[in-house]
Amino acid sequence: MNKPGDKRNWLITVILLSPVIALAIYNAMNNASFWDATIVNIITLFVAIAISFFLVQRRSDQRKQKEILLDLFIKLQTIIESDKASDLKGQTQEDITLRNRDINNKITLIESLNYKFLIKEDIDFVRKYFNEYRELIDDHIADADYLNHSRKELRRPLDLMKNKLFEMSLKLFE
């Protein structure tokens, strides 16, 4: 599926490459030594191309990893921001436990990448407030009436986690 920017990018590429190609054709026709090259020139060209490709590919891989991590942040924020996370009325213990397990799994996955992206302190903060949230629920899981009336108490750690995840998202591409 073509995006609107694809045609524009293609047009810019054609406009930028046309003069280069025209200059190369002109030089090939009018300069007798244009095709003369030593083995050193050829090797230098291939080494430069290989190094450039490696560096570009490496940056591309890092960018892709950051995008995947950002997607994980967004998914975690979506779960945390949902009304079901703080308003537990009508939810079964199983639903609550499954949601907490999903949040925990996502945090654990982010923790596994914390040294690579230098987010250890930030994810430790998120883990701390998730543990507070989970403990509040676990301490009163059998008391549905208490949980139904503790929306504000549940919202506080969730809001702190949400804000930290947003901050982490912004810092990820600095």
Give residue 2's pLDDT: 55
How far is C-alpha 104 from the chain's CA centre?
Answer: 18
Give residue 98's pLDDT: 95
pLDDT one digit per residue (tens) for the chain, 174 residues = 456 567 888 888 889 889 988 888 888 888 877 777 788 888 998 899 999 888 888 888 888 889 999 999 999 999 999 999 999 888 889 999 999 999 999 999 999 988 888 899 999 999 999 999 999 999 988 888 888 888 899 999 999 999 999 999 999 887
Give residue 18's pLDDT: 92
Q: Give me the CATH number covering residue 111.
A: 1.20.120.660
- The per-residue DSSP string of 43-107 comes to HHHHHHHHHHHHHHHHHHHHHHHHHHHHHHHHHHHHHHHSHHHH--TT--HHHHHHHHHHHHHHH
In a domain, 118, yes or no: yes
In a domain, 154, yes or no: yes
Using only C-alpha atoms, the chain has a radius of gyration, in whole angstroms, of 27
**Amino acid sitting at position 85:** A
| Burial status of residue 72 (CB atoms within 10 A of its CB: 0-12, 13-18, 19 or more) | middle
In a domain, 76, yes or no: yes
Q: Provide the residue range defining the domain that includes 124.
A: 60-172
In a domain, 70, yes or no: yes
Report how far apart, in Å, the C-alpha atoms of 98 and of each of 20, 85, 105 are.
59, 11, 10
3-state secondary structure of 102: helix
Give residue 3's pLDDT: 60
User: Total structural domains in the chain?
Assistant: 1
In a domain, 100, yes or no: yes
In a domain, 127, yes or no: yes
